[in-house]
Amino acid sequence: MRERPLEDDESYVRYADLCCTRTDLHDVFTGLCGDVLQAVEAAPERPLKALYSVLDRWRALFQKSSAELSAEQLAGLFGELLVLRRLLQSWPTATDWWLGPSGNRHDIVVGTHAIEVKSSLAQEERRFRVHGAAQLEAPQSGNLHLVWFKLARSQDQGLRLLDLIDQTRRIADDESGFFAKLALIGYRPVDADLYRDVRFTVLEERWYEIADSFPRIRPDSVPESIRDVHYTIDLDAVATQPLGKLQIDDRLAEILRES
């Protein structure tokens, strides 16, 4: 699929151009196109979302089940989806900014703005692990915000992980891109039964702007002979104060304005 502009004497329009380059699959592709047309007809106000939705369902037919995610991985995914959902509510293509699943040093990157998300299941402390000396470094000429969640897992309270995934899917334009990134983490729709009872309650949420006063290991302080730097930060010992709600809203509005 690619974006294709078409122009005549009176108009200039951009289209999503879906094609099949293998002649031996043309009969299968015809069935796919039929599903796409039906989906677009049912939701004409958001044709691109309808297209992505059909592509995702077809891809799911060929995906294999993954190994079950650990409690820490599930908590990390939950935290990232909370932030992503908030961005998507104002910008439906924000899944493009979610780079953590592909191994990027920051979880979310919007131009020169970056957001790193950390989640903890520990109930008696406010700590998180930093992976690499560059993880708490802002993009060049940009800024970095840290979001920290304290989560509690419950059997009957809080928000189900599957419901959060579904909420995020519904407001995202690119459903197939969203599920592709989930697959990089290790979650696929075929594995939903493994996580049907996974729920988390957000006990605490903190946002920090990573400025010079925020304690961290800087890349230029690490000798070239040292590799794989990992360390723990105790937020109870950090002098930097977390942002207030209005400050968080202002930062997110700034990010969206410059997207």
| Helix/strand/coil (H/E/C) assignment for every residue in 205-233 | EEEEECCCCCCCCCHHHCCCCCCCCEEEE
| Structure tokens that stand for 150 in this block | 């304290």
Q: What is the pLDDT of residue 36?
A: 93
| Structure tokens that stand for 189 in this block | 């729709």
Q: What is the pLDDT of residue 154?
A: 87
Q: What DSSP string runs through 62-87?
A: TPPPPPPPPHHHHHHHHHHHHHHHHH
**What averages of pLDDT result for each successive group of 10 residues across the chain (259 residues)?**
88 89 84 91 91 84 74 97 97 95 95 97 94 94 96 92 96 88 88 92 97 93 91 96 96 89
Q: What is the pLDDT of residue 195?
A: 94
Q: What is the pLDDT of residue 22?
A: 85
